[in-house]
Chains A and B, each alone.
Chain A
Amino acid sequence: MSNTTYSATSGIQQEERLLFEHAHEAPESISLPGVQGKAPSSLDVFKRKSAANIPGLSEPETVRHFVRLSQWNHGIETGFYPLGSCTMKYNPRVNEQVARLPGLAHVHPDQPEDSVQGILGLLYELQGWLTEISGFKDVTLQPAAGAHGELVGLMMIRKCLDARGEQGRKKVLVPDSAHGTNPASAALCGMYTVEIKSGADGRIDLDELKKHLDDDVAALMMTNPNTAGTFESDIKEICQLVHDAGGLVYGDGANLNALVGVARPGDMGLDCLHINVHKTFSTPHGGGGPGAGPVAVNDTLKPFLPVPRIEKDGDVFKVVTEDKQSIGSVLSTLGQTGVYMRANAYISAFGHNHIHKIAQDAVLNANYVLSRLKDVYHVPFEGLCKHECLLTDEWQNKHGVKTLDIAKRLIDLGFHPMTVYFPLIVHGAMLIEPTETESKETLDSFCDAMLEIAAQCEAGDTQALHDAPVKPIRRRLDETQAARKPVLVWSD
């Protein structure tokens, strides 16, 4: 059942040395503008005693080096990338074009306000849109990524509790399905976490939650839809319970793609929500970042928003740098504004008339994949999924095949694997998030590949799974060796 259109092949892929292994001396260096003199003699005593040993290649060699490296990568532009919890959707090219306009890309953050009204306007506009889409009252653009947003959210929660005279509350409840950044952020904020065990349906169990609600509770951090891809339908009761106990509810918005334009977390009782614009709002992941993690807040937390922030005074945009109750600042600047240019362009392309189609098609695609795979892969939690679906390797285990083998085999079949071994609440998790930018044809060919793998398991024909991947430039890499004797820099 292999699909030739989508299966991986190897064309001309070149091996490429490390920069440091290029044999020849550095060529004449590139010509640089500016004052063509030397540094003043006052710096002489501080000069480097030995050169840094940065290799230096000619321009054609540099281009070829990095283009070859790029060809060893899989990106959303190369193919399907159903990485659960990561929302690998298409990143519109026009967003790249507009973010590079000189009037946006080459602006210094300390230029006088009257010289940056254009970019402040775009950022202010985005603040309004993110607030509206999430259903809150205001938003900060300062956090640089989702985890940074978590820290900011918890800082605001602590400050709010302080203002209520409840300094003692430091307990943060985190479902066992939560992303690792949630407990790590709580610790960074000087709080401690208590894990709540998920119910049999993978959702927050109200009775379990109640057991942990006491006078120490500062917050519940919840992800909705949760990391199993299902909606916490008891959301209203959950928020009510936490609020009645004197705590606040932090929303991890990594999964907002399931709700955009269809429902708003702010309407459901949460106190704040971080938004991963590099997920929901299509800004590219860049092989690990940069992203941005704006945090939207309700009226309870609004007074504590970080500074600096952008406000509008008549027709003029202003940067406010001080605010009595603010938690202060968490970054040198207003935020990752280049990332926000792309998010603004993305929302502009949908407008009020199309924005809900993001969530609709994302959820449609995930449920479609689930419906095609549910008879051959174990589905731990029955029912509708939202933008991603969770499977496990339970049925393949009896043939000696694990999630990792399935993932690696997918590579040979031409697909980026799903997220593996997360969430931690099921054994051998496979979390599949197709996103709304994939066609039915792509989804079908991926499902065909998954069915083929399952069939191979059933037939006991599993060698190819254990050997996989064989097609990419490298086969399975030895992670134990890398960690045991870490080599993080090259030595000549």
Chain B
Amino acid sequence: MRYLPHTNSDRQAMLESMGLHEIMDLFTDIPKEFHTKLGSLDLPDALSEAGIVKKFTKAAEKNRHAGNTRCFLGGGTYHHFVPAVVDYVISRGEFLTAYTPYQPEIAQGTLQALFEYQTMIARLTGMEVSNASMYEAATATAEAALMARRVTRKTRTVIAGSVNPRYRTVTENYLSRLEGDYVEVAMGEFGTDLSQVIDAIDETTACVIVQYPDFYGSVYDLAPLREACDAHKCLMVVAFSDVSAFGLIESPGAYGADIAVGSGQALGIPMAFGGPHLGVFACKQKYLRQMPGRVCGLTTDADGKRGFVLTLSTREQHIRREKATSNICTNQGLMCTAASTYMTLMGDAGLETVANHSAAALDLLVSKLPNGVVAADGAHYNETVLTFASQEKRDAFISEARNNDIFAGIPLETIEKGAEQIDGNRHLLVATTEMIEEDDISDYIQAMEVAL
């Protein structure tokens, strides 16, 4: 077996040095009745390396992917450009095959990359501090709700119906075993009506969670929410699905968010059929000690040189156990390194260009919609809802687009079920990035014209 260095004579020598005869002598502490007959598991025969490549290539060829289609799918995962350098950096064995930096003297690479990540995420989201990642956006949102309970010592959670339904589901699930109300505010439209959200806040509310840009891609003024949160002494939590927006539009922090959470997948991380992605978690400095997850901090070494360590671990499970701020241990570390590398390559200017191109593509698409298809009102970043005359028409378009190697969008009812604004399965959630070219949009519109 090519991953195992021992020869049989090594094994024999090692056993003999311990006064043993065969390797199974090392398993006598496991009751006999639980011994599996060696070789009896229902698994296939071992594959050679070439066999593995062949098997995976064959499976991969059965899938369509962003490389051989035009991908207008969003809903929390976006096909942005991934520069070659990002994948190179995270393929370096020193980053890829290191554990959590528990021995900081020999993990300064990971630690400095994390410190740079935290800094850049704080700047991009306009927040004061960032942790070193959560699993992904939905669990980050749930953790924000939990953190708000600790900070405010209140238990009611208010969440806008325009937050990604998947983030809502997971948040509700996390909260459902704890005391306290979970209130979803139905929006009745493809956008966010802040006044309804604000009306739902009361004195017992721990936090209000909104998404910005919201699940439908809509961008709106968050300022009134800050005032309402101050009035009721609750935390303002802003979630997001595509962090690339903040290369262009005002950040959650600029609106006074207490906690900003969402997906950092846009920062150089492939879609990978849903993971691994990157859960971003940033907050105000004053709430730091209630923040979940690992953080990296600056310090000095015995010679007075600057260095980095994991810090504030008294919040964490390995020290605080059942009183920890979260149970998270393994996080998405390597994805932070990817995001750091990506942001370094982009800089402010590159990030702004990504956002401009992403938004310009949607704008172009919407401007060319034929009669019979309507886009949601208001300002949008790179995602919107298209409404067709009927499900038949919509589905005819989806399949015509598909014939032209286009994934036209996500039928809204597959993610969001039962919302008031969804009348008939005739809505399509469509997203664009800088990977969509003008030609792709022409083909998209043409497919629409053919189908309708």
Contact = CB atoms under 8 A, between A and B. Distances in A.
A77 B93 CA distance: 6
B260 interface: no
Contacts of B450: none
Contacts of A188: 146, 174, 326-327
Interface stretch (A204-212, A354-362, A392-400, A453-461): A354-362
A62 B344 contact: yes
B29 A332 contact: no
A446 to B, nearest CB: 14
Contact of B347 (A18, A55, A327, A337): A55
A269 to B, nearest CB: 9
A81 B341 CA distance: 26
A156 to B, nearest CB: 12
B274 to A, nearest CB: 3
Given A52-B124, A66-B89, A332-B170, A75 B46 contact: no
A39 B361 CA distance: 8
B90 interface: yes
A489 B76 CA distance: 27
Chain A facing B: main interface SS: loop
Contact of A48 (B3, B246, B360): B246
Given A77-B94, A263-B35, A474 B324 contact: no
16 contacts: A35-B432, A39-B248, A42-B380, A55-B347, A66-B89, A72-B94, A72-B112, A77-B97, A92-B3, A104-B272, A108-B73, A285-B100, A286-B335, A290-B276, A357-B4, A422-B318
Given A107-B65, A145-B330, A348 B219 contact: no
Given A329-B173, A477-B301, A479-B299, 7 more contacts: A35-B360, A146-B330, A180-B319, A289-B330, A350-B1, A363-B26, A489-B128
A286 B11 contact: no
B137 to A, nearest CB: 6
Interface string A397-417: 000000000011001000011
A43 interface: yes
A42 B362 CA distance: 12
B36 A104 contact: no
B389 interface: no
Given A328-B173, A332-B166, A488-B296, A482 B311 contact: yes
Given A180-B318, A357-B1, A368-B17, A70 B109 contact: yes
A37 to B, nearest CB: 4
Interface string B78-122: 010101010111111111111111111111111011111011101
Contacts of B379: 40, 42-43, 45-46
Contact of B5 (A45, A439, A475): A439
Interface string B189-204: 0000000000000000
A56 to B, nearest CB: 2
Interface in B321-372: 321-324, 326-337, 340-341, 343-361, 363-364
B94 to A, nearest CB: 4
B374 interface: no
Interface string B15-45: 1011000011011111101111011111111
Lowest 7 CB-CB distances: which A-B pairs, in order?
A56-B347, A288-B333, A286-B334, A333-B274, A103-B60, A118-B62, A77-B93
A33 interface: yes
Interface in A27-72: 29-30, 32-40, 42-43, 45-49, 51-57, 59, 62-63, 65-72
Contact of B99 (A96, A104, A288, A407): A288
A192 B322 contact: yes
B317 interface: yes
Nearest to B87: A100
Contact of B4 (A45, A66, A437): A437
B55 interface: yes
A356 B39 CA distance: 7
A67 B302 contact: no
B294 A158 contact: no
Contacts of A407: 103
A73 B295 contact: no
A261 B115 CA distance: 41
Interface string B178-190: 1000000000000
Interface string B222-249: 0000000000000000000000001111
A148 interface: yes
B98 A74 contact: yes
Contacts of A121: 59, 62
Contacts of A475: 105, 301-303, 305
Contact of B95 (A75, A97, A148, A476): A75
Nearest to B108: A72
Contacts of A293: 330
Contacts of B314: 483
Contacts of A29: 346-347, 349-350, 353
Contact of B273 (A59, A119, A365, A474): A119
Contacts of B341: 62, 66
B26 A356 contact: no
User: Most chain-A Cβ atoms within 10 A of its Cβ — which of B42, B99, B341?
Assistant: B99
Given A32-B353, A233-B31, A148 B90 contact: no
Interface string B49-72: 101110111111111111110010
B355 to A, nearest CB: 7
A273 to B, nearest CB: 14
User: Most chain-A Cβ atoms within 10 A of its Cβ — which of B105, B246, B361?
Assistant: B105
A90 interface: yes
Nearest to B28: A384
B312 interface: yes
Interface in A127-186: 128-129, 132-133, 135, 144-148, 150-151, 155, 158, 179-181, 183-186
Contacts of A320: none
B360 A330 contact: no
Contacts of A94: 49, 52-53
Nearest to A337: B273
Contacts of A219: none
B440 to A, nearest CB: 9
A282 to B, nearest CB: 8
A324 interface: no
Contacts of A47: 248-250
Contact of A43 (B35, B331, B344, B359): B359
B300 A19 contact: no
B451 interface: no
Given A108-B271, A109-B274, A352-B40, A482 B299 contact: yes
B177 A287 contact: no
Contacts of B96: 75, 77, 91, 96, 284, 286-287
B441 interface: yes
A43 B101 contact: no
A483 B312 contact: yes
